[in-house]
A and B are shown apart, each in its own frame.
Chain A
Amino acid sequence: MLIDDLLARRLVVLSGKGGVGKSLVGAALAVAAHRRGKRVLLVEVDTPAVAEAGRFLGAGPGGGAERELRPGLSTLNLHPGAVMEEYVRHTVRAEFLARRVLDSPLYHRFFAAAPGLKELMTLGKVMTLEEGRSGWSRNPRYDLIVLDAPATGHGLAFLKVPLAAAETVPVGPVGSNARRILDLLRDAERTALVVVAVPEEMAVVEALEFHRMAVEQVGMTACALVLNACHERRFTKAQESEVLRLTAEEATGTLPGGVSLSAALDAARRLLRRERMTRFYQGRLRRALALPLVSLPFLFQEQIGPAQVEQMADRLEAA
């Protein structure tokens, strides 16, 4: 089972083109893991205003702290700027000094703007969370961390930061931390990459491209492809031909409830087209990569909430 394979890791990194539903997939994966008794942390890297995973799980948008939504299932929204401030506060113990560092022009003009530094801090925080231990037994605080990484293009830049940092800063704690982060990302036993796409040309091309670069340039190991928003068969083959025949004949009539047959046929035809696209891209992804492919259904709901997340988790578990 795919889910067991994923749950054997410590960190699952999700990436894909913007708008493909990474956050929903992340929430569903966290729920699926939680159902199997894992202590799970779902991490988003976002500004608080637009963080979604918490909302999908039925909680309002949260600040920058870990929140336990139900026992064993927590979310955390990492805002890179806030992570950096936290780091300064942690390092400079005295609040008044920390405040002065944070208020200083040096901090604002240099550290807050230094390319890659926030990303490095954010990944460093994820690593710290992965290493977190609790209680007398020194058990890991979380069995699994699901990281909802930024969308591809930038996601790759995000994941490449430790590599660049390890090369730029050869010594000192930052350099060694960068190398440790890189080790974590590259360790196939601990970390799995899951690439998310939807059945559309650009999303699929980008998923394949991202996968190739993440493997070649960062050295990560991909574990699965998730194809979200799939249109699944709603008509039998015979019904499908019947729909096409009736459409060609411009059949008229009324369905129960007073719905016009031609309007319903039009809707059916549109959905049949999407179904064919879904099958086309499923085939293409299967041919392109020897990775397990999980298809998740398109949701017609306006509001996506805990019920839909549970439904998606069912699908992930069954895959």
Chain B
Amino acid sequence: MKASARSVLARALAERRVVIVCGAGGVGKTTTAAALAVHAAVQGRRVLVCTIDPSRRLATSLGLQKLPEKPRRLDLSQLDGGLGAQPQRAQAERFLGRERAIHSRASDSMDEKREAGAPGRSGVSPQGPSAGIHFRREPPNAPSGEAWAMTLDTKRTFDALVERHAGSEAARRRILDNRFYQKVSAALAGSHEFMAMEKLLELSADERFDLVVLDTPPTRHALDFLEAPDRMMGFLDASVLRWFLKPYFAAGRLTLKVATRAGRVALGLVDRYLGLRFLQDLSEFFLAFESMYAGFKERAAAVHVLLRGQSAGFVLVASPARVAVDEALYFYERLREAGMPFVATVVNRVHPDPAEPAAGRPRQRKAAVAHVDTDLARALLQAYDDLHRLARAERRVITRLEVDTGEPLLLVPELESDVHDLRGLAHVAELMLGEETEPAKKRRAR
């Protein structure tokens, strides 16, 4: 039997250097990436979670207004008694309003789990999770991990790359001042992915971090992301230029000296449709880049090796919707084809089926059988049927994902409230990677 997705994922987080989280839009990818990072930090690793998504989702999920473009350390003290110094722990406990309860049991050194308020009893607080937070006490002197977060600034990364590889100050300025470069490096779709790979390579060698968790843009763009280094290298390839642009401008004036007929046609098109100044910008750009090409190529080759090595791992995230599963399957195939190391599939937002008794639900008291009037009974049945139907449909889709990939899945239930702070993330991590619940064990045993 295959190892459970849970243990495979936990091991990857403990051992690998780079974990890349990918999947369709809206499946909880960012939340998953952040939760995995928080989990690994709680386990003692120094983790950086980095997003290349141009939208600022990761900041939201971490409960921050904005993410810095340089790694910033997150304050985990609010999370877990085992991390950080004692005063921080006390502060965290006060924050959670559980001070007294914890002090009264301060002598317990064993792991303990405590519900910080039963979900669903009080009014909803869309600002934060009210679901149970689990506390795990670490033994004294446990290695304390660190969690860091950052967002990718495409332009700055590109500039840094140019600065690293430019042979001279003049070459550097020629590129940085080039109009074409300024537009391409800053805003355009495609350069994000290329720069993300560059950044990933840089971060994977950063001694401050044991693990880099990367949150990628939605699937189709994540594919771009896998292919980005190769495509960008193709784009920047000097041999193409020698064949094409250089003879065009080397003479300093317009002479159409292209060897092949197709080349002439292509060049004619470019001239006709892009105009002279653009061609000048472009050829300046490429000529200036020529000296750096070897350096870039080396980096791209290093990325290629990094992504296929055993220190990297891909976590595929899906939601139990048909479209998300189609995309997950598509992406899974592509990862396999490309020889990328696959870790596990996480399926988020799985609705519990009301027809199946939930694990850990308190045993029924012997209450009198309640009287429910007809209208309410009808509305209740409708609610039950709706969720039951939804859960069954989801189950079918999940089964398809499991069968078609042949990989074990990790199911995360739909949470009762939004997750967008560290405590919520720790809760998600607990759901993903904490102790296996009895029903899950049984399901696997079947």
A residues near B, CB below 8 A? 17-20, 46-47, 49-50, 52, 88, 91-92, 97, 100-101, 103-116, 119, 151-154, 156-158, 160-161, 164-165, 167-175, 198, 200-203, 205-206, 209-210, 234-235, 239, 242-243, 246-257, 259, 261-271, 273, 276-277, 280-281, 300-303
Contact = CB atoms under 8 A, between A and B. Distances in A.
A97 B420 CA distance: 55
Interface in B29-44: 30-31
Nearest to A217: B187
A101 B420 contact: no
B10 interface: no
B354 A170 contact: no
Given A91-B269, A109-B235, A175-B275, A267 B354 contact: yes
B218 A170 contact: no
A164 to B, nearest CB: 5
Interface in B128-158: none
Interface of B: 24-27, 30-31, 53-57, 60-61, 120-121, 123-124, 126, 179-180, 183-184, 186-192, 217-218, 220-221, 231-232, 234-235, 237, 240, 243-244, 260-263, 265-266, 269, 272-278, 281, 319, 321-324, 326-327, 330, 354-355, 357-358, 361-362, 364-365, 367, 369-372, 375-377, 379-384, 386-390, 393, 396-397, 416-418, 420
Given A18-B218, A19-B324, A20-B26, A268 B370 contact: no
A50 B184 contact: no
Given A250-B364, A250-B365, A104 B262 contact: yes
Contacts of B387: 267, 270-271, 300
B126 A267 contact: no
B370 A251 contact: yes
A110 B231 CA distance: 9
B307 to A, nearest CB: 19
Given A20-B26, A108-B234, A169 B240 contact: no
Contacts of B260: 104
B261 A100 contact: yes
B184 A262 contact: no
B217 A161 contact: no
A113 B278 contact: no
Given A116-B187, A302-B389, 6 more contacts: A19-B24, A104-B266, A201-B60, A203-B26, A235-B376, A270-B387
Contacts of B56: 205-206, 209
Contact of B278 (A172, A266, A270): A172
8 contacts: A50-B330, A88-B269, A97-B262, A110-B235, A164-B186, A169-B274, A268-B380, A277-B124
A255 B380 contact: yes
A9 to B, nearest CB: 25
Nearest to A23: B323
B367 A271 contact: no
B269 A92 contact: yes
Contact of B25 (A91, A110, A151): A151
A156 B54 contact: yes
Most central of A91, A164, A172, A173 by chain B CB within 10 Å: A172
Nearest to A114: B235
A188 B361 CA distance: 55
Contacts of B57: 17, 202, 205-206
A271 B240 contact: no
B121 to A, nearest CB: 7
B326 A249 contact: no
A52 B323 contact: yes
A50 B327 contact: yes
Given A92-B269, A201-B126, A252-B364, A100 B262 contact: yes
A172 B275 contact: yes
B187 A109 contact: no
B221 to A, nearest CB: 6
Give chain A's interface secondary structure class: helix
Contacts of B367: 249-252
Contacts of B273: 91, 172-174
B381 A257 contact: yes
A256 to B, nearest CB: 6
B375 A239 contact: yes
B363 to A, nearest CB: 9
Nearest to B241: A110
Contacts of A171: 275-278
A88 B365 CA distance: 74
A115 B354 contact: no
B377 A256 contact: yes
B185 to A, nearest CB: 9
A202 B60 contact: yes
A276 B54 CA distance: 30
Contact of B188 (A157, A256, A301): A157
Contacts of B30: 202
A49 B278 contact: no
Nearest to A302: B393
B187 A157 contact: yes
A18 B364 contact: no
B192 A157 contact: yes
A250 B121 CA distance: 11
B301 to A, nearest CB: 17
B180 to A, nearest CB: 6
Contacts of A17: 25-26, 55, 57
Nearest to B245: A110
B277 to A, nearest CB: 6
Contacts of B383: 234, 264, 267-268, 271
A202 B348 CA distance: 15
Nearest to B286: A110
Nearest to A97: B265
B253 to A, nearest CB: 18
A50 B323 contact: yes
A69 B137 CA distance: 62
B151 to A, nearest CB: 11
6 tightest CB-CB pairs across the interface, nearest first?
A18-B25, A19-B26, A172-B275, A302-B393, A251-B370, A153-B55
A210 B417 contact: no
A201 B31 CA distance: 12
A49 B61 CA distance: 31
A97 B264 CA distance: 11
B54 A259 contact: no
Contacts of B231: 112-113
A239 B386 contact: no
B175 to A, nearest CB: 15
Contacts of B362: 250
Contacts of A200: 418
